Amino acid sequence: MSLSLDIDLLRSFAVIAEVRALSRAAHRVGRTQSALSQQMKRLEEIVDQPLFQRTGRGVVLTNPGERLLIHAQRILRLHDEAMADLCGTGLSGTIRFGCPDDYAAVFLPPLLRQFSSQHPHAQVEVVCGPTPRLLERLDKRAVDLAMISLPDGHSTSSGGAHDDIIRREQLVWIGYPGLDSTHFEPLPLALSDPDTLDHIAACEALQRAGRAFRIAYASSSLAGLTALVRSGQAFAVMTQTAVPTDLSVLTADAGLPALPAVGVSLKFARARPSLLITAFAEHIRATLPLL
């Protein structure tokens, strides 16, 4: 009897490959971890190849698993396009979406991939920048929707639902591995624009702690900031989720003051956004806390 690849198995496999942890994948697909493990065992039997290796930090794909993922993503995309086309369930159109660089690197790939599977005829144009610049674009209606950072504990006086905090992210100090911040006086900093939360939080925390500092580099480019940190010329502040693996998070032992958390929220350019923009916002609200 010939075997075939089941869409549900491939969809579960793709989620595990994305989050690299069975527990998180099970929550995402709405199954128990045991049921998900049985699904993957069945898939490995079908392809007659081991697809995952368990590690202390989750699971990693084997070489056959990496190859299957390429096929699975293409199969799932075509399947979802066919269903949306024939059943008329998918929305179409273009969304201009603003997103800070650090959130874009971590959150956008899964967010866009999942939304595309539901609405394959929709296009999302992404504009990256720090929150103050995105708010300016919203005011000019240069973007339709933006993911923005708000001070932790933020509450709106207007009661607008669109300013609700979806997720909280801790701000952290980062530096080049092995570089001791106590050896620098004043402390050289690489920070984003002066009106951004990370810039303000860093300066206020150091001022309260009585620690001298200087702005060695200020830019809205996350790539520029991390490049300076990699050179060992400065220390920076970013959300913990977005810290590159080759840089170190500095703890209290480094003599640096604690930093606050920030809230992640969404803001619309128009009071009455289109059905497509609303659907994308609801998708982010449902998915972002699970990433």
Q: H/E element holding 256?
A: none
Span 93-166+264-290: which CATH code? 3.40.190.10
The residue length of the chain stands at: 291
Sequence ranges of the chain with CATH classification 1.10.10.10 = 7-87
Under 8 Å CB-to-CB from 37, ≥6 apart: which residues?
22
Neighbouring C-beta atoms of residue 31, cutoff 10 Å: 17
Instruction: Give the pLDDT of the chain (291 residues) as one tens digit per residue.
Output: 567 899 999 989 988 988 888 888 888 788 899 999 999 999 999 999 999 998 877 899 999 999 999 999 889 878 877 777 677 667 888 999 999 999 998 999 999 998 988 888 899 999 999 999 999 999 999 999 999 999 986 544 333 434 589 999 999 999 999 999 989 999 999 999 999 999 999 999 999 999 999 999 988 889 999 999 999 999 999 999 999 999 999 987 778 999 999 999 999 999 999 889 999 999 999 999 988
The structure's pTM equals 0.72
Q: How do 187-191 and 261-268 pair as beta strands?
A: unpaired
Task: Write out the CATH class of domain 7-87.
Answer: mainly alpha
Q: Which amino acid is at 183?
A: H
> What topology does CATH give the domain 168-259?
D-Maltodextrin-Binding Protein; domain 2 (3.40.190)
pLDDT of residue 111: 94
pLDDT of residue 89: 65
pLDDT of residue 158: 38
Sequence ranges of the chain with CATH classification 3.40.190.10 = 93-166+264-290, 168-259
pLDDT of residue 62: 94
